[in-house]
A and B are shown apart, each in its own frame.
Chain A
Amino acid sequence: MWIEPNETTVEKVQYLDENGKLLGERPDVSDDDLLSLYKWMVQARTFDKRALKLQRQGRIGTYAPMIGQEAAQVGSAFALEKQDWIYPSYRDLSASFVHGFPMKNFFLYTMGHLKGTDAEGANVFPVQIIIGAQCLHAVGGGWAGKINNENSVSVAYIGDGGTSEGDFHEALNFAGVYKLPVVFFVQNNQWAISVPIAKQTASKTIAQKAAAYGIAGIQVDGNDALAVYLTMKQALERARNGSPVLVEAVTYRQGPHTTSDDPTKYRENSELAEWLAKDPVKRMKAFIVEKGIWNEELDQQEFELAEQKVSEAFELALNTPKSNAKEIFDLVYEQKTIQLTEQQNSIRTERVLK
């Protein structure tokens, strides 16, 4: 019997419609959690806008905006337990913040500081640059957690582009064979720099790829924080019990790939407009306002508070002494080699020619 392409039915999990109206039954999430989810999304959006400005002013380096993906990132990370680990890509800032990564240190990272990936004890792996490579670290980390009985799940955060990499395939395969506590959380934001999802895969959904690895997969509306959060809770529970999961959160990269990219070169404004109507922050706000636990005044205060936190983090980063060239030699091996010592000593700060 032929397995025809794309005959699998994939149903997208959704709790809120585009206007924040509840589609089905009221989910079992406390008001406190609803507000926390929203507040983190406000924090994410505020951080993103400020980071973009700071980059334009030349005060931080290249930045990969996450605007539009707040529900996917916050909703997924908010479901984690403290002992869980995340393995983020360079765009997964708000997931990292929710899981305890200090905002200040991300500023340091993008300002070119040596200590910019220090999670200060939070279970957040250094941000990954090579697309998809972190999938394998999550597998190895999850494996160690299983062997050491940590009751911990490892979550690889990747994008739709990442699913084209060999490491994605190898990681899902390993996780499936050895039943590892790993969740592969894919934010399908429709674009890998300038290449649309249609040129990334011929598969109708990313979620259905799970089947080929003998693991569970699910597709969720990535702009619906409630849906992401509740789906991720289930995914984590499955993974904690030794069944790896592939989650596809369907979302949209509203901004450029990075501050060096101009998306008007390759995509239509009408597409952006369509997705702006599904904006995750707006949607969640409408839901909690409708529910009577939020209002405009609180909203304004929350955005102000978020701005303040970003300012504080940026100030702290600004006041951190710059990395010194002499420090780099101490970070290569546990014990410096004689070659590195010699090179370190060769650095002169005074001018050679007068």
Chain B
Amino acid sequence: MTTMTMIEAINFTLRKEMERDNRIICLGEDIGKNGGVFRATDGLQALFGEERVIDTPIAESAIVGTAVGMATRGLRPVAEIQFFGFIYEAMDQVVAQAARLRFRSGGTLGAPMVVRAPFGGGVRTPELHSDSLEGLFLHSPGLKVVMPSNAYDAKGLLTAAIRDNDPVMFLEPMKLYRAFKHEVPEQDYLIEIGKANVLKEGEDVTIITWGPTVPLVSKVVEQWEKQFNASVEIIDLRTISPIDEETIITSVQKTGRALIVHEAVKTGGPGAEISALINEKALFYLTAPVLRVTGFDTPYPVPAVEDEWLPNANRIIQSLKEVLTH
């Protein structure tokens, strides 16, 4: 078995999928010769040519809108948005066009396409490079939203996203691109979109998290579980839309307590949706209020304060204590 970083796994998956299916086209800014600013598409243009790995002009709306056009005419585009904070430029094409196409064509057309984008904090980027905007797309019917937390999941989920016949937002936590190496089989495997991963089983509280905060939560739990004298279940949600209700509800019915950790801002965020879901389906199993550790309700801040802004070990421990001692 080979070990890979997440960025290596993404690059490897793109290559394997492009070899398998010549309808797959990659397009985006600096993805050709340069191989992408994070090297996700490194070497792909040399392998597949300029026709299949396209350096586009700087125009996010056009990258997504063009992909919609391609997807309806027999191609399977994988579009890269250089940083997820730039997606606002393409909101119409993502939400009003790609996401709605199946619906507004009466089911006659679909948009089998992937929009890949790095996101997430802790890497001292300039403004608008780190925002976690998955909630905007969770709130947009017709899209799927996937966020891997490790190299193994990245490969299985990206393969599934590329083969999906609906538009998938594939969001890559840039802090984790090169942070860890994981064992990644070279052969084909899929991780089903819409299925969460119970990362660690436990009895007393469920932590629901995804993407960049998964390794952080795991580390905190590993260090503090004994001290709290509690057994913690960790769910790596992996897919933000559609949410795996069954895994969440089953877990919370067992533990009676839930804590949601995400980098996205708090109000109206994915945590609110998950909390509402728990209210609807597991309220009488709860022994404590559902708590959230999230980004604060401000624009993503400057590097000097981002470590306090982001969910960090301190904030997670504090909320964990609160939920356990309620």
A174: B residues at CB distance < 8 A: 56-57, 59, 62, 66
CB < 8 Å: which of B65, B142, B164 contacts A171? B65
Decide if B122 is an interface residue (CB 8 Å cutoff). no
B109: A residues at CB distance < 8 A: 125-126
A288: B residues at CB distance < 8 A: none
Structural contact, B59 and A170, CB atoms closer than 8 A:
yes
Structural contact, A142 and B75, CB atoms closer than 8 A:
no
How far apart are B188's CB and chain A's nearest CB, in angstroms?
21
Decide if A326 is an interface residue (CB 8 Å cutoff). no
A331: B residues at CB distance < 8 A: 102-103, 106-107
Measured CA separation A142–B101 after assembly (Å): 18
Structural contact, B141 and A139, CB atoms closer than 8 A:
no
Structural contact, A118 and B65, CB atoms closer than 8 A:
no
Q: How many chain-A residues does the 8 Å CB contact rule pick out?
A: 43
Decide if A153 is an interface residue (CB 8 Å cutoff). no
Measured CA separation A144–B75 after assembly (Å): 6
How far apart are B160's CB and chain A's nearest CB, in angstroms?
13
A141: B residues at CB distance < 8 A: 69-70, 72-73
How far apart are A1's CB and chain B's nearest CB, in angstroms?
26
A142: B residues at CB distance < 8 A: 69
How far apart are B121's CB and chain A's nearest CB, in angstroms?
29
B97: A residues at CB distance < 8 A: 130, 133, 137
Given A170-B62, A174-B57, verify A126-B68 contact (CB < 8 Å). no
Decide if A112 is an interface residue (CB 8 Å cutoff). no
B110: A residues at CB distance < 8 A: 334
Structural contact, B59 and A173, CB atoms closer than 8 A:
yes
Decide if B287 is an interface residue (CB 8 Å cutoff). no
Measured CA separation A127–B166 after assembly (Å): 20
Given A119-B108, A332-B102, verify A177-B71 contact (CB < 8 Å). no
Give residues in A with beta carbon < 8 Å to B: 85, 87, 114-119, 125-126, 130, 133, 135-145, 147-148, 154, 166-167, 170-171, 173-174, 177-178, 328, 330-334, 337-339
Known: A140-B70, A167-B62, A170-B57. 15 other contacts (CB 8 A): A117-B106, A118-B106, A130-B97, A135-B65, A136-B66, A137-B68, A140-B66, A140-B77, A144-B69, A147-B75, A171-B62, A173-B59, A332-B141, A338-B246, A339-B243
